[in-house]
Structure 1
Amino acid sequence: MEVPNTSFVQNLVIDSSNPFYLHPSDYPGMILVSKFFDGNGYGAWKRAMSIALSAKNKLGVLYAETAQNLWNELNSRYGQASGVRVYQLQKNIYQISQVSSDIATYFAKKKSNWDELNVVNSIPSCTCGAVHAFSKREEDQRLIQCLVGLNPSYDMIRSNILMMQPIPSIDRSYGILIQDEKQREIHTTTTDFIVSSASMHANTG
């Protein structure tokens, strides 16, 4: 019986780190992102698709000629920062209010628009010192955008955040608001329990 050439067999095995390696869980028609691209929200879709491909080590495959041509065509058609799309995103950001949403959901809605705005209206990379000042100014503006849309019940905590020197980051402000929200939930739960107990005692008295 002829013994297979070991080196030949090993050469047939594709290294799992190779972009062309197919994991057993990969299959044709596999859905990589939850939302199909319909011509709207290209920036957010591209970012989600890039992350999904990168996680599967397939981002490098896009540099194949046909795939790259397709990617370039999508960028050319939908990826350009048009004044209309930038206007729509900026308008969305200012129109989003908390209303009945919790803090986490409210911030997520704002961030979704910020992320797409970053893609369609990206700023060229810069290594000068001004980039830090610009980033801080942009973050301060986004914090104001978030504070403006909060419900009136957050007026006190909003004032406290605005009075801090220097103005806190979005992450720190988010943490402060989440903590305040949890305290409100505890207070509401305690109040409801007291009212319920008092009512029960009144009915049994």
Structure 2
Amino acid sequence: MNNRNRPAQLRTEDTSSPYFLHPSDNPGTILVPQPLTGSNYATWSRSFTTALLAKNKLVFVDGSILLPARDDLLYQPWIRCNSMVISWLRNSLSPQISSSIMYLDDAYAIWFDLKERFSIGDSARIYQLKQQLMSLSQGSSDVNTYFTNLRIVWDEFKSSQPI
């Protein structure tokens, strides 16, 4: 079967396929500006999810595409893309957290592990955010600065609430 007759998901050069890797994609790429340190899980997760969506690779961490059977035509492309996503994940973690997932071979398993460990609301941080919200005042700031500061604290507070 020539490549044109393959279904779209099997054509790894099709840019709309989750199996497509751009020539500039490499294991050393850093997708988010701040590594996951633990306390910043909500913002890190959001940033990393956005980056994966842009690269059409979110399906490897959300469980939408699981490891195909060895005899499946998608087995090798899946291994290649999964490995790339794992590299991107490792590059976006603090060294200690990265060490803790070093022997997990599935991007979905890593994502699930990180979510399970770090998405639980940090009660001390939630308390800090509540205090910031209660004490935030416009003072000498202009309305835009005040609203921006309020929005930053509010969004973090909202995202740190248990799901």
Q: TM-score, normalized by length of structure 2?
A: 0.58
- Distance change >3 Å, CA 33–CA 98, structure 1 → 2: farther
Q: 1:50–1:102: structure 2 CA closer, same or farther, 3 Å change rule? A: farther
The answer on whether the counterparts of 1:44 and 1:115 sit within 8 Å (CA) in structure 2 is no
1:43, 1:79 within 8 Å by CA — same for their partners in 2? Answer: yes
Return the alpha-carbon distance in structure 2 between the equivalents of residues 88 and 113 of structure 1: 10
Tell me, what secondary structure is at the counterpart of 1:22?
Answer: coil
Q: Name the structure 2 match of 1:28.
A: 27
The amino acid of 2:149's aligned partner reads K
CA 1:70 to 1:90, structure 2 compared with 1: closer, same or farther past 3 Å?
same
Could you say which structure has the higher helix fraction? 1
Letter in 2 for 1:8: N
Measure, in 1, the Cα distance between the counterparts of 2:116 and 2:36. Answer: 15
Count of residue pairs brought into register by the alignment: 117
State the structure with more CA Rg: 1
If the length of structure 1 is used for normalisation, what is the TM-score? 0.48
Runs of 4+ in 1 over 3 A off after TM superposition: 9-13, 94-106
Deviation at 1:99, TM superposition (A): 5.4
| Equivalences for residues 1-205 of structure 1 within 5 A | 7-10=1-4, 11=6, 13-14=11-12, 15-62=14-61, 63=63, 64=66, 66-98=106-138, 101-122=141-162
Structure 1 portions without partners, runs of 5+: 1-6, 124-205
Q: Percent identity?
A: 38
Which amino acid in structure 2 is aligned with residue 94 of structure 1?
A: M
Q: Which has the higher contact order (CA 8 A, sep 6+)?
A: 2
Higher alpha-carbon deviation: 13-22 or 104-113: 104-113
RMSD: 2.6
Question: CA separation of 1:13/1:111 partners in 2, compared to 1, >3 Å: closer, same or farther?
Answer: same
Secondary structure of 2:27's match?
coil
Distance 2:141 2:51 in 1: 28
User: CA separation in 2, counterparts of 1:81 and 1:49?
Assistant: 19
